[in-house]
Structure formats: structure tokens, C-alpha cells
Amino acid sequence: MSVKIGIGFGGWPFASQDPDHLWDYTDECERIGIDSLWLSDRIVSDVVSMEAVVALSFIAARTKNLKFGTNVIALPLRNPTVLAKEIATLDFLSGGRSLPAVGLGTGEASEYEACGTLKRQRGGRTDEAIEVMRLLWSGDDVTFHGRYFTLNNVTVQPKPVQAELPPIWIGGRSEFAIRRTAKIGDGWLVSQATPEEVGDGVSRIKAMAAEYGNEIEDDHYGALFSFCIADSYEEARRTAEPYMLRRRADVDYDGFSAFGSADRVRGLIDAYIDAGATKFVARPACPPEMMMEQLHALGADVLPSYH
């Protein structure tokens, strides 16, 4: 199984709101051989947060080899026919480089309301939306009558160019996310999970997928982790502290992050590989002025071990 390492971030992580920061960063990802670039999805936000599909279209146009994905797109906030069209167009124009990972979105009821839906419907809408998108990608004159979405003889063109359709990975580490992955997912992408939790999740998904009759490839399990490379653990953790994601109360983020030398980053990746994950989204936890430095350190000192 091939190990692939991408890089990702949430809100705008650069020192100023100059788009050239993103273009320079994207160029470097392509140049040093990063597998993929991942953007998170916040439609309603009081911080700068790009609309993921639009931003990925710019990244697609700027690159030739870099794949790109959503980590994760808030599917209940989207119309699946429109989103299927957008992702199919991205896939078509980029030569099959789109990686749509989906999830339920944040816990803020106001965001669902602002997008014309209800938080309590998010699970059912997600399940139906996945079905609708696959139907539109794989055939024409689609008719679908669900609880939330209705299509009558609907066709979307162009189709995605990936032979097996863009794989829809499910994000999340909840019981519902694990079960949804096993039932209808093409893969699992989890964040803020320890290697032990990833191993347990992979085992459970495989067992449940067999019961549901869903085939998930062995190399379709991935993990997002934060990292900061520095001369010492103490320096790296101190640098990363203000830039960590929302924190779990039950596990210190040392359990799913790597601070210090490149050896520590490789050690965490290897532990995830032993647990059954082979696809990774590495998130730099650092000040904006260090984003490029951390990318170069990852490219020079970590990537070569997995080529």
C-alpha cells in the first residue's frame, strides 16, 4: 500500500490577506512533491476562511500533479446537485485530481439555519446527498425521491474523469461517522485521533463494512495530524500551542500531534501506518510567518522516507 502525505489548513494561515501567499505555497507543494492540499470548510465564520470549492478550483488551475481535497466539506449545508456539478467540473478540468471528503459540519445551529437547513436533519441529509452525488456522477436521467431531495430525469455534465468516480471519504471519529463510513463511505479520514483510536476505528469499519456489503480498499484510511518541526520538543510545542485545533478534554494533543524533530513526525506517521492508515494530511501548527519554513522541513526531512 502506498503512503501519501498531503498538507492542510483551516482558516487563512498566512501573514496577510494577499492571495500571492496561497499561490507561492501551492507552487512549493507542487515543487517538493506533496501529494495533496486540503482545505477545511466553514461557510459562516468570523475569521478569513475561503470557500473550499472555489479556492480548490484556483489551486487546480495552477498545478499539474498536486491533488486537492476538502477536509471536510459540510455536506448538510450544500445542495448535492450543485455540489456534484462543482466537483465533477473540478475533476474533469484537473484530470481526476479531486478528493472530496465530507462530514456533518460544525455544531452551530445558526450555520445550518443560515444555509437553509436544520442541524437536526444533518445526518439524513448527508446520507441522501452522498447517494444523489454518486447517481449524478455515474449516470444520466437520474430520478431520486428522498426525504430531503427530489430529482426527476436529471443529468449533470461533464462527468468526473476518475474511473471509479471521485472517492467520497467520510470525516469524523464519532460512532456515527464510523458507522456511516462502513455503510456508504469509500474511505475514512479522521482528525484528532491517536494511533490506537485509528487502529480501533479501522478494525471496526472493516468489520461493519463486511456486514453492510460495502467494499473499502485497505489504503483508503487516513489521518490528519498537527505538526511543528523544531530543534527541541519544548520549542516546537511552545511554538505550536496558540495554533492548535479545538482541543479534546480527554486526551492531550501530544497523542495525535508531532512536535520537535523530523524523527518525531516520522514516528507518529509510522504509528498510524501500523494502525492501518496510509493517507495523511499534515497540518502545520505555527505562526503565519513560519508556514513556508514548516512546509520545507516536511518536504526535506519527512517526505523522502515515504517515497
Kindly tell me if the per-residue pLDDT of 298 is higher than 80: yes
In this prediction, residue 259 has a pLDDT band, given cuts at 50, 70 and 90, of: very high
**CA 6 – CA 4 distance, rounded (Å):** 7
119 in a domain, yes or no? no
Looking up residue 18, the CATH number of its domain turns out to be 3.20.20.30
In this prediction, residue 107 has a pLDDT band, given cuts at 50, 70 and 90, of: confident
Whole domain around residue 212: which residue ranges? 4-34+168-306
Kindly tell me if the per-residue pLDDT of 245 is higher than 90: no
Name the helix (H) or strand (E) containing 226. strand 221-229
Q: How many domains does the chain have?
A: 1
The partner residues of 227 in beta bridges, in order of sequence, read: 258, 284
286 in a domain, yes or no? yes
156 in a domain, yes or no? no
**CA 141 – CA 23 distance, rounded (Å):** 39
**CA 136 – CA 155 distance, rounded (Å):** 6
pLDDT digits (tens, 9 = 90+) for 163-199: 889 999 999 999 999 999 999 999 999 999 999 999 9
Kindly tell me if the per-residue pLDDT of 125 is higher than 90: yes
Q: What count of other Cβ atoms lies within 10 Å of the Cβ of residue 33?
A: 13
Q: Report the pLDDT value the prediction gives residue 10, as an integer from 0 to 100.
A: 86
**CA 265 – CA 233 distance, rounded (Å):** 11
104 in a domain, yes or no? no
150 in a domain, yes or no? no
**CA 171 – CA 104 distance, rounded (Å):** 8
**CA 219 – CA 242 distance, rounded (Å):** 33
pLDDT digits (tens, 9 = 90+) for 1-47: 799 999 999 899 999 999 999 999 999 999 999 999 999 999 998 88
Cell numbers 469499519: residue: 205
Q: Between residues 107 and 78, which one has the greater pLDDT? A: 78
Q: Report the pLDDT value the prediction gives residue 9, as an integer from 0 to 100.
A: 93
Q: What's the distance, Cα to Cα, between the start and end of the chain in Å?
A: 12
22 in a domain, yes or no? yes
Kindly tell me if the per-residue pLDDT of 247 is higher than 80: no
CB 4 within 8 A of CB 38: no
21 in a domain, yes or no? yes
181 in a domain, yes or no? yes
CB 281 within 8 A of CB 224: yes
3-state secondary structure string, 46-100? CCCCCCHHHHHHHHHHHCCCCEEEEEEEEHHHCCHHHHHHHHHHHHHHHCCCEEE
Q: What count of other Cβ atoms lies within 10 Å of the Cβ of residue 85?
A: 17
